[in-house]
Amino acid sequence: MQVNKERMLTEFKEIVAIPCHTLQERPVFDYLKAKLEGLGFTVEEDGAGEQLGGNCGNLWGFLPGNKPGAVRVLLSAHMDGVEPCGGTIVVQRDGMLYSDGTTILGGDDKSGVEGILEGLRLLQKSGAEHGDIQVLFTIAEEGGVNGSRCMDKSRLRADVGYALDGEGAPGEIVIGAPGQYKYKIAIHGKTAHGGLEPEKGINAVMLAAKALADVKRYGRIDEETTANIGIIGGGVATNVVPDLVTIEGDARSRNNEKLLAIRDEIVNTIVSSAEKYGAKAEAQVDHKYSSFLVAKDSLVVELAQKACEAHGFTSVVDLTGGGSDANFINAYGVPCVILGTGMSNVHTVGEYIKEEDLYNSALMVYGILRAAAEK
């Protein structure tokens, strides 16, 4: 089975040109709704957008199977992109796709979206039997995986799930990802005039610096655990002793005990150190998502490997250090892995993708649906 390369390229260019700002995904939603309905899917929208303050919810598509007892498959990708996005002009050069440098390309995650659409068309063109197929295009994946967190999980009706949102080439099968906590710590000092009476103030900036210096472990903790202090802010003028500094960071691990330990270590160190040096400190901790680990010999991995075998792709079972919609799909009861689509240099205007990888993502989808029907 051959993909229609011209159709895929044309459609990919159309999709990445559509504005897709997080929580403003309605134009993409409407475009994809029409595409799925054209493929015979029943399409619905959940209330995630209302919960998050967006202009649309997650898009759900359902196509009943024509082979009783076949494995039911969920295919997922996200509709939003990081800034600057929308209005993307795709540049083709030497078998690669780039933007013109003024926006991201949008392969994250429109390569996943396009792989799903073309994979479904290949299945229908083949006339092959298949089980129930469910498609989930999510909102607000960027900046916190919030769309899938707020999904209507009662709508899930699949045995296995595939999130097409990985940076590896088609054939990469990511079976595990970390959980994440974010924290924000406010350090309160005391304001005063920096030139007339600085001795009456408590400088929150200096005390925050001392507290941060007491943090001994950050960055790469071990092979499955990381911690990052990413934002610090405070102060209003150079002649005013600053009375407030905020520190924001996150901790991630595929091991829940390690995750809790490094979270507590960093937060408690900053809070206790700030207080030791004369400030007051308050911490807010937010559990963003839980880790997941799918067994290498599970059905969801087996079907993906069969798709690789069918199309001559090298199967690579891997782990990742980032979160995705797969974290919540797993948490809500559907075993889900992340599939590589070949996207590279994501979240930058230097993002690119090989044309071959774009086409092969559709073959992975088609191969999985065929393998699911044969199981």
Q: Phi and psi (nearest 5°) for 142? A: -70, 140
Q: Flag whether pLDDT at 1 surpasses 90.
A: no
| Distance in angstroms (rounded) separating the CA atoms of residues 197 and 230 | 32
pLDDT-derived band at 334 (thresholds 50, 70, 90) equals very high
What mean pLDDT is predicted for residues 170-196?
Answer: 97
Q: Domain count of the chain?
A: 2
Q: Within 13 A of 201's CA, how many CA atoms are on the CB side? A: 21
DSSP states of 21-85 as a string? BTT--HHHHHHHHHHHHHTT-EEEE-SHHHHHT-S---EEEEE--SSTTPPPEEEEEE--BPSS-
Are both 61 and 103 inside the same structural domain?
Answer: yes
Q: Phi and psi (nearest 5°) for 288? A: -80, -45
| Distance in angstroms (rounded) separating the CA atoms of residues 222 and 252 | 11
pLDDT-derived band at 199 (thresholds 50, 70, 90) equals very high
Are both 266 and 308 inside the same structural domain?
Answer: no
For the stretch 54-103, pLDDT in tens is 999 999 999 999 999 999 999 999 999 999 998 999 999 999 999 999 99
Are both 193 and 84 inside the same structural domain?
Answer: no
- CATH number for the domain spanning 259: value is 3.30.70.360
For the stretch 282-315, pLDDT in tens is 999 999 999 999 999 999 999 999 999 999 999 9
| Distance in angstroms (rounded) separating the CA atoms of residues 300 and 329 | 13
Range of the domain at 103: 5-177+291-374
Are both 231 and 297 inside the same structural domain?
Answer: no
Q: Which residues contact 152 (CB under 8 A, 6 or more apart)?
A: 46, 47, 48, 58, 60
For the stretch 99-154, pLDDT in tens is 999 999 999 999 999 999 999 999 999 999 999 999 999 999 998 899 999 999 99
Q: Flag whether pLDDT at 375 surpasses 90.
A: no
User: Is 50 among the residues known to form the active site?
Assistant: no
And the tokens for 35?
Answer: 């595409």
Percent of the chain whose pLDDT exceeds 90:
98
- What pLDDT, on a 0 to 100 scale, did the predictor assign at position 327? 97
Are both 215 and 306 inside the same structural domain?
Answer: no
Catalytic residue, chosen from 46, 80, 114, 167, is 80
Are both 319 and 257 inside the same structural domain?
Answer: no
User: Is 80 among the residues known to form the active site?
Assistant: yes
Indicate the residue among 289, 304, 339 that finishes a domain.
289
Catalytic residue, chosen from 25, 118, 141, 351, is 141
